[in-house]
Amino acid sequence: MSTPAAPSVLFVCVHNAGRSQIGAAFLTHLAGDKVQVRSAGSAPADAVNPAVVEAMREVGIDISAETPKVLTVEAVQSSDVVITMGCGDACPYFPGKRYMDWKLEDPAGQGVAAVRPIRDEIEQRIRGLLAELGIEAAR
């Protein structure tokens, strides 16, 4: 008996340096190999926001090796769920995909103290998404 393929989730924000990196890291951390995780930006930055890296380190998740990636049509087409986080009209739309738009503060230019509540809100949304997908989150 074959197991169904893991659902794939794409996180998209403008720079792929903050919110989408947090979302991808939490989903990877909490779902393991039960979900395929991607993140991208419509205008990727040169590096992940250092305050975001530090805020994630505080909760035991190291994203220091991550780099912002450009959003491609292929990434959207190969994803079951596309979660946008402030990329506006830059996100391509394909029928049959599940789109979710998460309205979140932008951590760009913010310090770690301002990133923490954004990080915590994203974690809660990820836990809710896992429940919707019927996937038990790791502890």
Known catalytic residue at 43 = no
Please answer whether residues 75 and 40 qualify as being in contact, where contact means their C-beta atoms are separated by less than 8 angstroms. Answer: yes
Known catalytic residue at 87 = yes
State the CB neighbour count (10 A cutoff) for residue 32: 13
- Catalytic residue from among 9, 10, 13, 115: 13
Residue 88 CA to chain centroid, in angstroms?
A: 16
What's the CA gap between 115 and 13, in Å, rounded? 15
- Catalytic residue from among 91, 118, 122, 129: 91
Known catalytic residue at 13 = yes
Total residue count of the chain as it appears in this document: 139
What's the CA gap between 30 and 42, in Å, rounded? 26
Instruction: Please compute Rg for the chain using Cα positions.
Output: 14
- Catalytic residue from among 10, 87, 104, 129: 87
Catalytic residue set: 13, 87, 91
